[in-house]
Amino acid sequence: MRKGRPHLPALGRKRTNRVGKGSIAWDDAPEFGPKKYVRVLSPKLKKDLRLLICNRRLVGVWTHYMEAVGPGHKGKTQPCTGHRVMCAGCLRKRARRWKGYLGCWAPKVGEYCIAEVTLEAARSCHDLINPDVDLRGRLVYLQRMGDSANGPVMAKLLPYEAETYLPDELDVVGALTRLWGYESDAWSGDDRKPAV
């Protein structure tokens, strides 16, 4: 592998020998399925992200930022369920913000992750929300601009030319649903694409 290319495990043909109960299952590599909980990543100040996109499309959802409750806790993004009475963010009159999420592979650590794409990042790279563009197998580069920890994020799509294993697509909606503690039918699902 050439210098500067992301490292992914080179997986070969899977061999399974299942003859009957108690037989040995032989494989030439472990399965790299996603863990139950997948980390959501966004670029930090002076720490850009370069991730391999596993999914064909970005998944968008309207969210609320919920401030921390008590010392030592961090605020977090929660989905807007679209119900003015049942949505905690709507009840607290928090602004709705669109966020996009990409199922990705983090080459440096060798695990699945979800890249958070802000509205500003989508504006800087329209191909992220273009339904005619297949994102699978490309690199997404996310960079926080300015000197602020919550400055705008810019995005670029880069080609990925390595001849290595491309992980399976990630169930982004399922992973976020588990992470946020919601049932999948609680999502409004109508507002997946922002007006940019």
The rounded distance, in Å, linking the Cα atoms of 44 and 128 is 20
Can you give the three-state secondary structure of 43-76, one letter per residue?
CECCECEEEEECCCCCEEEEEEEECCCCCCCCCE
* Rounded to 5°, angle at Cα 156 from 153 and 160: 140
4-43: pLDDT as tens digits? 444 444 444 444 444 455 567 676 665 555 556 789 999 9
**Among the listed residues 195, 180, 193, 194, the one whose alpha carbon sits nearest the alpha carbon of residue 80:** 180
Residue in 166, 131, 159, 141 with CA at minimum distance from that of residue 54? 166
State pLDDT tens for residues 58-69.
999 999 988 877
- Region 42-65: what's the mean pLDDT? 92
Which pLDDT tens digit goes with each residue over 67-123?
877 777 677 888 998 876 788 889 888 999 999 999 999 988 888 999 999 999 999
Q: What is the dihedral of CA 66, 146, 122, 99, to 10 degrees?
A: -10
**What residue segments make up the domains of the chain, in order of their start?**
40-184
Cβ contacts of residue 178 below 8 Å, gap of 6+?
36, 37
